[in-house]
């Protein structure tokens, strides 16, 4: 699908065929993650911040396509840096939304193979939760905490992602991510990242995380 500009639409890009990125719909309503994430916080995060990464990536792709078509000179270093930033932001947010769920459906503890995998590596779920929380809170500046699966050893590993540099993708598929950029929590929690991370555990979609694991080990 190709996504073309639409000056009449705030979302700038309309589906036509499939060559550009588009903002994904959320699997829940904006108010459904309350009280752990407010309707305003989620709406701003999704429709403004995530949309900006989608638009940014598409603009760079369009610029590259135009330069190649016209055989024009281009600052490749700057273009690819901007493309990496925006594509990384889009992909990570797309994963993030799906590993959240409304209270009642989200939260609690995982079961099945996911629980067994975490227990085998971290000795207990509580130990995993503690280490992941510490990783998320201690990300320097802006970034993400991620639960990944090493494709060589089969071990689950917690990683910090600086900004949107999702270099964990090739060898370490992501099972779960948590956005700790300030834009993820500043409306609800101001500068209290730790409080936001604690709230996150009430809306983790363990079914989705387990599904990702199943797809990797089948």
> By C-alpha distance, which of 62, 142, 140, 50 is closest to 87?
50
- Segment (H or E) for 93: helix 76-98
- Its sign, for the CA torsion 184, 136, 126, 210, is positive
What pTM does this model have? Answer: 0.88
Residue 5 has pLDDT above 70, yes or no: no
Rounded distance, CA 77 to CA 184, Å? Answer: 29
- Segment (H or E) for 76: helix 76-98
Q: What is the pLDDT of residues 34-58, one digit of tens each?
A: 999 999 999 999 999 999 999 999 9
Query: What's the full length of the chain, in residues?
Result: 218
The phi and psi torsions of 75 (rounded to 5 degrees) equal -80, 90
Q: What is the pLDDT of residues 97-119, one digit of tens each?
A: 999 999 999 999 999 999 999 99
Domains in the chain with CATH codes:
3-30+37-98 (1.10.287.990), 112-217 (3.55.40.20)
Distance of CA 9 to the CA centre of its chain: 25
Neighbours of 88 (CB within 10 A): 20
Residue 179 has pLDDT above 60, yes or no: yes
* Least trusted range by pLDDT, from 5-19, 148-162, 173-187, 197-211: 5-19
With pLDDT > 90 as the criterion, what percentage of the chain qualifies? 82
Q: What is the pLDDT of residues 58-77, one digit of tens each?
A: 999 999 999 999 989 999 99
Across the chain, mean pLDDT equals: 90
**Are 209 and 147 a contacting pair, CB within 8 Å?**
yes
List C-alpha distances in Å: 177 to 18, 97, 142, 147, 161. Answer: 26, 9, 14, 6, 10
Rounded distance, CA 129 to CA 136, Å? Answer: 10
Beta bridge partners of 156: 149
Query: Residue 43 has what pLDDT?
Result: 98
Neighbours of 108 (CB within 10 A): 12
DSSP conformational letter for 180: -
Neighbours of 39 (CB within 10 A): 14
């Amino acid at each position: 699908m190709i996504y073309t500009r639409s000056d009449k639409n705030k979302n700038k890009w309309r589906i036509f065929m499939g060559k550009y990125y588009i903002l994904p719909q959320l699997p829940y309503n904006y108010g459904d993650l309350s009280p752990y994430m407010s309707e305003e916080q989620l709406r701003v995060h999704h429709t403004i911040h995530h949309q900006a990464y989608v638009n940014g990536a598409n603009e760079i792709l369009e610029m590259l396509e135009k330069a190649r078509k016209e055989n024009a000179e281009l600052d490749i270093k700057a273009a690819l840096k901007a493309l990496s930033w925006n594509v990384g932001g889009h992909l990570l947010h797309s994963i993030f939304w799906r590993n959240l769920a409304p209270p009642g459906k989200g939260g609690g503890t995982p079961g099945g193979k996911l629980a067994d995998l975490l227990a085998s590596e971290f000795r207990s779920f509580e130990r995993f939760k503690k280490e992941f929380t510490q990783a998320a809170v201690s990300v320097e500046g802006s970034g993400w905490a991620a639960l990944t699966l090493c494709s060589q050893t089969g071990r689950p590993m917690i990683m910090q992602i600086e900004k949107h540099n999702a270099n964990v993708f090739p060898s370490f598929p992501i099972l779960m991510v948590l956005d700790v950029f300030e834009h993820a929590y500043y409306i609800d929690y101001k500068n209290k990242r730790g409080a936001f991370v604690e709230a996150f555990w009430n809306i983790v979609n363990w079914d989705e995380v387990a599904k990702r694991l199943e797809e990797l080990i089948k």
